[in-house]
Structure 1
Amino acid sequence: MAAQNTTRAKLSQDSIVDALLALAREAPRAEVTFRMLGAELGVAATAIYRHFRDKDELYRAAVDRLYAEALSRVDRAEPSWRLRLAQYSDALAATYLEAPAIGQLAPLVDGRGSGELASLDFIFEALEQAGLSGQRLIDAYGAYAGHTLAFAAGMALELSRESTPGSSVPWIRMLDAGSLAQFPRLVRLRGDLLEMDTLGVYRAGVQAILDSIEAG
């Protein structure tokens, strides 16, 4: 009992989020329950409710941590705004795919915690360095942030449903050669299409958005 009381004394929002993300990375295809968290932390599941009102509040904190972790992987000293944004989009996808049970929730929570706010400020800083202002700045932010957030979360959701481990999944799983006979372009491109994966499509979308910003 004394050991458990010591653990409880050390329990905090940060330690709970640490445990949640650790479990999500160990078992990427399983939902992490309060009971699992309690066992990991050595406390009764009810103890977690002293720090988070409910599961939604806990998930918001975990998603915010992923934003912060993604931003920490970016070389902020990189002089090119374009390379910084490319680094961030890769880092965001990586953090979501490492803990897909949490990453897939990102579009569903609107926590606006310090990690997310720092990420927003980082994006606007890069876009302003690209010479954008006014409505063009807002539109570019919407295109970039909307693509990265929704697509990275979608990849996390898809990965959590996969039966075999991997960092990405095929973009098109099957194109039956027999059914393509009347579509000559698909016949010609079938091999290339089947080689595409979701991460490659995600990155291509990011590059297209950055191209459009750079083109002015």
Structure 2
Amino acid sequence: MKKNKMQFGRSIFLAFLLILLLAFFLIPKLRGGALYIVSMFATGDFTVLRDFVASYGAYAALISFLLMILQSVAAPLPAFLLTFANANLFGWWRGAILSWSSAMAGASLCFFIARLLGREAVVKLTSRSGLQNIEEFFKRHGRMSILIARLLPFISFDIVSYAAGLTSISFWSFFVATGIGQLPATIIYSYVGGFLTGGAKLFVTGLLILFALSFLIMLGRQLYKERH
């Protein structure tokens, strides 16, 4: 019975993907809009995203929510830019709630995509080497893998979600670990983002490097202890 449900869900999802793919190639405005969104993330400037979201007025929060889900599925897109934009536009604590909840929705979607479509589909959405690295991380850290990975900003949030869907972990265990693990970074990014202006790009870069280095040192120390 469970297998039949999985097959039915897989069929529905594949049909939905096919419709999206056809719409992308057959509707020029949709294709142009999707490429424009990717180009906004590629600029590395959160103000571009902020202005785009703000242009939708009363629907700005909904657009931001959908953008976060989109970047979750398209793993290479940087989520922290949208977190900065949300905080700058809606205030740091409202932006944090929006970023956290939409990231949770995106992580859940990635989890179920992996569970429905399997490894080969995940490889196409991410990368084989990236997926293998996360799987090695899972083997090394066991039951705490999801929580640890969420606390480390240099580990891809989206690939972790996909990789978790390929394991036997229950959805709710994944959901709780993700919710707790991503909360500190979301609060920090949102608090900083609430005060940023367009001229603070260098400061943001320095902050992210410092944040990443601190966790790298902590992880290196842990690995050293495990080896010795």
Q: State whether TM-score is above 0.5.
A: no
Q: TM-score range by the shorter chain?
A: 0.3 to 0.5
Specify which structure has the higher proportion of helix: 2
Higher relative CO (Cα under 8 Å, sequence separation at least 6) belongs to: 2
Q: TM-score, normalised by structure 1?
A: 0.43
Larger Rg: 1
